[in-house]
Structure formats: structure tokens, C-alpha cells
Structure 1
């Protein structure tokens, strides 16, 4: 039997709670390639989707079947044929696609039906709805190549999908569409997921796929994943990437998914994500943690460094309270924080405050105290403290001050590394010296502003 330790569970659950609240009632379109199923990840992935569903998120799941179709073709002695990064679907390939889609839908629906004891889906009832929600058109002939039964999404019946997800069902879309005359077309999972997200104006489009995300250094496969990518930067990256040549198989790399993320964001989807299925629980980490695990493409950066207002009082108090309890910070009167809120600078991400500091000026002495500098333990080591310090310095310079100072008992080395130097408490402005707690014996550190 596993043990749940309150000292780790409670802070974790409190950190997750804002995201649970924020995403309840929102619509997520999730694209799942056939490679996820081939890797044996389906049951765990469906359990995670069911958790999102239980948290009140409306789910549209789009599955792919690339390796399954290729397997069917190989069994019939046929080869997969591609051009311009797309499959050429002849009559045999269409039959194989229909067989693969039928089998995968059966497996996915079975996975959603497993309300097994001692699993995240215990006693869960998740209804799966699928149907002819897609109208397709043929790719046609491109550069002399006839794509035959390969198609593109013409229209998504968003109203019907919306009614289904509003009723509490998970909608499952296969990469098949039909023309108004009833002709079947093989579509790509990525096209279907992107088109559905745009038609529904979904809050998120997530590709849980075989790539880790966009690397901070695209030329280095071992560099860290860039967890948040501005849309403009993503567009520039794609402009520099190589396009698949005629006759080429689909390049299953980050650009393959990034192009669909960009299209979705340009068409009104707020956020699109590339998430690695190789990591257990990656979908939950991406949705319910501050930085996620993959790459999120957004029109504008969600992180904001700004001056505080009255709406931030509760967030600031929640941030600094743990540090007051352990003695890192001096306890501040709550009415004082409310009174001085305009003196605070905060750093937030997606509406949650992760850092703050206040600047108390002593104009006659041409200096100011930086107080209550705090960064959440969830994001320490990521540079938020330096960004807040820089903004505080800018605010002090704008007021014509020549220095800032801090009082600290535990973090003096952090400040010394950033240009502060210790002084005797007698250096303090007279007004601040009268409030100095000689019993606490805080060190006073000063930084000259250039």
C-alpha cells in the first residue's frame, strides 16, 4: 500500500487547485497519434483523459492510425506511398485505413469503459460518442500526383459536437470524412484535430505525440524544452524549416506538429501544445503544473511582470505566508499590504502570482527599501527573482533614487551576488532606523544604482 504524506500532498494539491478551477467547463481537443497506441500507452493515457473529464473539462479526442495502416498494408503485401508529406490513399490503403480505424475505435472505447478498482478510473462512467461529424474534400492532384482517396477537412459539425460534450460525453473523432455524395476520404489526425479545435474555438489543442516539444536550441537534441513559445517565434521557426519534398514520407518531427499549433493559434485557439507521450502522466503535467512538460504555443506570453493592484492582495498574502511562518520574512500586517499595494511588483503566470516585492521609498535619503521579495518554491531557480529585482531597480531609478537596500537574515548571499554590499544598520535612513528590530539582527545590504 502506498502512503500519502500530508507535507507533500497538501502543498501539491494547493498548487494544482487554481488550474482545476480555471479549466472547469473549458474545451480541450486532444490529438493522439497511432504511435501512442503502438507504444502500449493507451490505457494510461485514457485514464489521464478521464481525470481531466472528471475535473469538468470537455474532451474531444482525435486518434491517428499511421502505423496501424502501414501494418495492415504490409500484411497485404503493399507498401505505404507518400508524397509531399501526405499519404497517397489508393483503394487498398483506404480499406486498410477503415480496418485500422474500426479496430482503434474499439480499443479506445474499451479503455474508457475500464472502471477498474484501484485505478484513477475506479467507478467512473465515461460515455464516448462518435459519428459523422466531418465533411471532407479530396486533396486532388498536386504537382502531377493524384492523392486519390486522401482528403482534407471541409467542415466540422461544431454544433453537434458541442451538444455531445455539453451532455458530458467524450467525443471521439477518427481521421475519416465523407463528401456530400458519400465518398470516404482518409484524413490526417493533425488536420482533423486542428480543424475541430478551430471550429469549436477550443481553449486548448494538445498533441500528445512522439516528440518532446520545441528545444530551446533546435540544433541541439539534448537542450531543454522551451515550455512556452510565442506565436510569432513559432512562425519564424517554421519559416526557417525544410519543407517535405515530393515523394517524401511525413517528417515526424517537432515542425510537423508545430505547423498545426500555429494554424490553430492564428485561427482563435488560445493555446496549443506539443506533449511527449513517452513520459508517464505527461498530459496531467502539461495541464496542471506551472511550466508543464512540453511546449505551449500562445499568441502572447502568459507570464506578466507588472505593478500590483487591489486584485492581487489575496495572491500576495498566499505567496508570502509560508515564508512568514518559517521566519524568512517578517510578518506584515494585512491592512498594511492593502494600503501599500501600489508599491508592490508581482510576477504572474496564467493568473497565478509566483513572485512579488515591494519598494518603500525614503525620498530625502534618496534610497528605498525592497521588502517582501518572494518567489514561489514551485519556480525557484528559473530567474523570477532576478526579473523582479530588475523591475524594482527600474522603479527606484524612475523616482530619482540612487540606491536600494534590503534587510535579511537568511538570503544575504543571494543579494551579494547581485551587487549588494553589507553596511552597518546605522546607515539606514532615520525613519527606517526607528523601526529596525535590533533583536532580529537583520543584515542591511545596499546596492548603488547606476
Structure 2
């Protein structure tokens, strides 16, 4: 049980530690519009970016410049209408675009260079690199309208960006790109960020916007979406709400191209980045294709897939043999992760009867985790952890206080998941009676803390 006398920040650090380890050396693309730079919270965003960098996260920042461009154009009495969520960039308006983008780049570089004592930036020493990483081409003529110097991304120099990231630098990209003929094109920052995340094979794409995430028609925050659900919402978003449309469509495109997780957050919310990345529930909207592999209760239709997953491990002596009939009888105890009809991972939870003096109102305080298995092609993922956590939550809901497991090969992995090795004598007597001394399995236990 947590000690109530322990400062809250200690608990926070301890709970954040798994995320710190997971995110280290991963590539995140973070996009924010020019509006974010005008927010009072932007200095905190810079501090959080510095913290992410200090924790070993490889960062690519992509900024927009719409309000700054609008300001420059207003001073020149120039009007550049929008069509298809893109500004029609005339040759006369291009200097206003370049001036705004250049000023923002210098502003961000200056903020990341701060090292004031008694501030979060003290000792940060961050090197920021920007350059001609983005190759562009003309957007062309659409609906009879010539977009002139408005372009779209043709290529991202991912090799050059990765070279800088490997040397501990932050890459900074803006909403401009260069053609092979030496012209400069005005681009959508959302498109630059999405394409950069895809080409860099980034682990995350993060959009900072006006809203705290994606809001449905009732203005309620949608916590998680898969690409299909997000695409459905896109068809119903008011086209005038370009920010939500562009962020959500960018997330869908990135997910379908292999980026595992995309996040929609608010640049107004202090600590949104840290809350989203280092807590279980997050603060914004997560768009991920991995939702298709959510852990679920097994059904009788999964028996064939379970047999295919378990047989090789049984033949190696890693798992105890289970016949088809036994699996059918015990299917209610199993949880699985399935994709496209194939079982990728499984585990089972078997409640253990306790001695009468230890019984609770439910009569059960202990359970056994068994048959934890992950398909060989997916063992570098966290699917084993996912199915184990699913069963732990189920056990908590049943009032179970202790989880036990027996293993001959994977004790260290279970210790990483919070189990501790115990003596056979500490195993509930009902399970001791069925212990197979020939297998000589080690016994592990985990105490469950009520949520």
C-alpha cells in the first residue's frame, strides 16, 4: 500500500518511470500552429519540450504561422483567400509568408536556448537544427483556381533529420518547402508534420490545437479513436472548423501509414504534454490502429486459434498441455488479443478457493494466472503486458487480493510485471495439492492494490 506520508511527487515519478523507459530514444513529431506561440502557456510548452529532450526523446517540432502571416498581409493590404484549407499564395504575398516563418523559427530557437538559473531551462543546452529538409511541389490548379506558390510536400529528408536526432539535436520544420528549381512554397504545417512522422517512422505524432482533443457534436472529449471511427467523424465535421479537421485527418493518415499513436491536445492546457505521455489515462484524444487488438474475453470460437498459439509452447515444455476439450471447458477463464482472425496473445485467470478463515464476502481472495503466451512474431511488442493487465483488472473487480503463477522459463519477465518469487508453501493449499513436482515450477505472487 502507498505510504500516505510520501510526497505526491514521489508517487508521480514512480508511476511515470515505465513511460520514461518506454519513450527513451523514440521519435516524436510535435506540431503546433502559430496560434500556440501567442498563447500565455507557450513558455510552459517550451519547458516541457526541454524536459522531453532531457529524458532522451528524439523530437521533431513542426510549427505553423497562420496568424503571423495574416498580420503581415494586413500591414501590406494584401488579401489571400483560402480554398480546400489552403491559402492561395501569390508572388506578392510570399515575402509576408517568409518573414513570418523566419521570425517564428528564430523565436523558437531563442526560447530553446534559454538557460536561466532557477528556471526549468537551466542547464538544458539544447541544439536546434532547421534547414531545407522539406522538398515541395506546386499544389497546382484545383476547381479552376491556380494556387500559385502554395505547395504540397514532395519528400522529407529523413536521413538528414535522423542524423541530427542521433546526435541529440531537435529538428525544427516550418510550413515551407523548397522545389528542385529553387522556388519556395507555402505549405500546410499539418501536412509537413504528418509526412515527417510517416517518413521518419515516428512512434508518435502529436498535434497541439485550440481544443483539449477531439470533441464530438455534444462537445464531449473523445478519449480514443481508431482510424475508421475517426474517418466517420471527419465526414461530419464542419468544414469551417479547419483545425479539428486537419488534425484528425492527419492522425488518420499517419496511423494508416504505420505511426502507432497520434495525440490531439490543447496548447492552452498547462502540462498537457506531460499528462498525455506519462500517465495511463492521458489528457487528450488518442488515435491509434492498435485499438483493433484490444484485449477481450475469449469465446468458444477462439479455441482453434488458441490451439495454434499454445501447441508449439506445449511441445517445448514451456506450457502444460491442454486438450481441445479442456480449452472448451475453460474458455471463460481466458483473455485474448486477436487480429484478422489470428490469436496474437492469451492468458487465463483461475480463481483459487481459500481456507474458510481467509474467505471474504465473495469467498475468493486468490487466483492463478496461467497460460500466458504471445505469438513468436509479436514478442517484441507489449501484448503480453496488455493481456496480463486485463486479467489483473478483472481480478480486482472480483475482490481478489493475490495473484499466483507457476513458471519454468519466464520468471524474470513476471518479476518485471510486479510479481515476486515465493516458496511453494506460500501457494494456497488447494493449488499446492495439484503441484507437479516433475516440472519443478517456480512460484510467483503479486499483491493487488485496490484502485
Please report how far the alpha carbon of residue 192 of structure 1 lies from its aligned counterpart in structure 2 after TM superposition.
0.3
Residue 284 (structure 2) pairs with residue 290 (structure 1): no
CA distance in 2, matches of 1:73, 1:347: 57
CA distance in 1, matches of 2:98, 2:61: 18
CA distance in 2, matches of 1:292, 1:55: 18
Deviating above 4 A after TM superposition, structure 1's stretches of 4 or more consecutive aligned residues are 342-348, 387-393, 404-408
CA distance in 1, matches of 2:69, 2:111: 21
Please report how far the alpha carbon of residue 92 of structure 1 lies from its aligned counterpart in structure 2 after TM superposition.
2.6
Residue 86 to residue 305, structure 1, CA distance change in 2 (3 Å) = same
CA distance in 1, matches of 2:44, 2:264: 18
- Which residue pairs with 1:381 in the alignment? none
Please report how far the alpha carbon of residue 226 of structure 1 lies from its aligned counterpart in structure 2 after TM superposition.
2.1
CA distance in 2, matches of 1:108, 1:54: 17
Please report how far the alpha carbon of residue 74 of structure 1 lies from its aligned counterpart in structure 2 after TM superposition.
0.6
Pairwise mapping of residues 274-313 of structure 1 onto structure 2 (< 5 A)? 274-301=264-291, 304=295
> Over the residues paired in the alignment, what is the CA RMSD in angstroms?
3.4
Please report how far the alpha carbon of residue 233 of structure 1 lies from its aligned counterpart in structure 2 after TM superposition.
1.3
CA distance in 2, matches of 1:168, 1:390: 39
Please report how far the alpha carbon of residue 141 of structure 1 lies from its aligned counterpart in structure 2 after TM superposition.
0.4
* 2:295 alignment partner, SS class: strand
* 1:261 alignment partner, SS class: helix
C-alpha deviations, 1:12-47, integer Å up to 9, x for none?
111100000000000000001000012233322111
Residue 252 to residue 39, structure 1, CA distance change in 2 (3 Å) = farther
Residue 351 (structure 2) pairs with residue 359 (structure 1): yes
- Do the aligned partners of 1:194 and 1:261 also contact (CA within 8 Å) in 2? yes
Pairwise mapping of residues 12-91 of structure 1 onto structure 2 (< 5 A)? 12-91=12-91
Please report how far the alpha carbon of residue 255 of structure 1 lies from its aligned counterpart in structure 2 after TM superposition.
2.4
CA distance in 2, matches of 1:25, 1:189: 24
Q: Unaligned 5+ residue runs, structure 1?
A: 245-249, 308-338, 349-355, 363-367, 374-386, 394-403, 409-430, 433-450
C-alpha deviations, 1:409-445, integer Å up to 9, x for none?
xxxxxxxxxxxxxxxxxxxxxx98xxxxxxxxxxxxx
- Which residue pairs with 1:252 in the alignment? 242
CA distance in 2, matches of 1:52, 1:149: 36
CA distance in 2, matches of 1:282, 1:167: 27
- How many residue pairs are counted as aligned between the two chains? 331
- Which residue pairs with 1:271 in the alignment? 261
Please report how far the alpha carbon of residue 129 of structure 1 lies from its aligned counterpart in structure 2 after TM superposition.
0.4
CA distance in 1, matches of 2:118, 2:236: 48
- Which residue pairs with 1:232 in the alignment? 228
C-alpha deviations, 1:279-315, integer Å up to 9, x for none?
01111111111111111100022763579xxxxxxxx
What TM-score, normalized by structure 1, do the two folds share?
Answer: 0.67
* 1:123 alignment partner, SS class: coil
CA distance in 1, matches of 2:231, 2:146: 30
CA distance in 2, matches of 1:104, 1:392: 52
- Which residue pairs with 1:371 in the alignment? 365
Please report how far the alpha carbon of residue 256 of structure 1 lies from its aligned counterpart in structure 2 after TM superposition.
2.5
CA distance in 2, matches of 1:168, 1:256: 30
- Which residue pairs with 1:336 in the alignment? none
CA distance in 1, matches of 2:91, 2:41: 30
- Which residue pairs with 1:220 in the alignment? 218
- Do the aligned partners of 1:34 and 1:68 also contact (CA within 8 Å) in 2? yes
Pairwise mapping of residues 275-424 of structure 1 onto structure 2 (< 5 A)? 275-301=265-291, 304=295, 359-360=351-352, 370-371=364-365
* 2:59 alignment partner, SS class: strand
* 2:98 alignment partner, SS class: helix
CA distance in 2, matches of 1:390, 1:125: 43
- Do the aligned partners of 2:27 and 2:204 also contact (CA within 8 Å) in 1? yes
- Which residue pairs with 2:107 in the alignment? 107
